[in-house]
Amino acid sequence: MMKYSEAAKMSKKDILEKVAVLKTEMFNAKFSKHTVGVDKPHTKRVIKKDIARLLTAMNAKKN
């Protein structure tokens, strides 16, 4: 789980790269849930919140 302060220190390029990686992880988590089953059911929720933190930090840098 990432903290907002960590995301705020990142550059826009790093944030966009991290968001892309997290979206891939989210897809894999959704896919594995329906095929194999879930070991950690909270994984999707954590990934969604991390993406939201990163996008919030990126939007705050615009101003």
In the chain, domain spans:
4-62
Q: Which fold has domain 4-62?
A: Helix Hairpins (1.10.287)
Count of other CB atoms within 10 angstroms of residue 43:
17
What pLDDT, on the 0 to 100 scale, is given for residue 36? 84
Instruction: Kindly indicate the confidence band of residue 63, based on its pLDDT and cuts at 50, 70 and 90.
Output: low
Q: What is the pTM of this model?
A: 0.86
Q: What is the pLDDT of residues 4-48, one digit of tens each?
A: 999 999 999 999 999 999 999 999 988 888 888 777 888 999 999
Question: Would you say the C-alpha torsion 14, 19, 24, 25 has a positive or negative sign?
Answer: positive
**What's residue 37's pLDDT?**
78
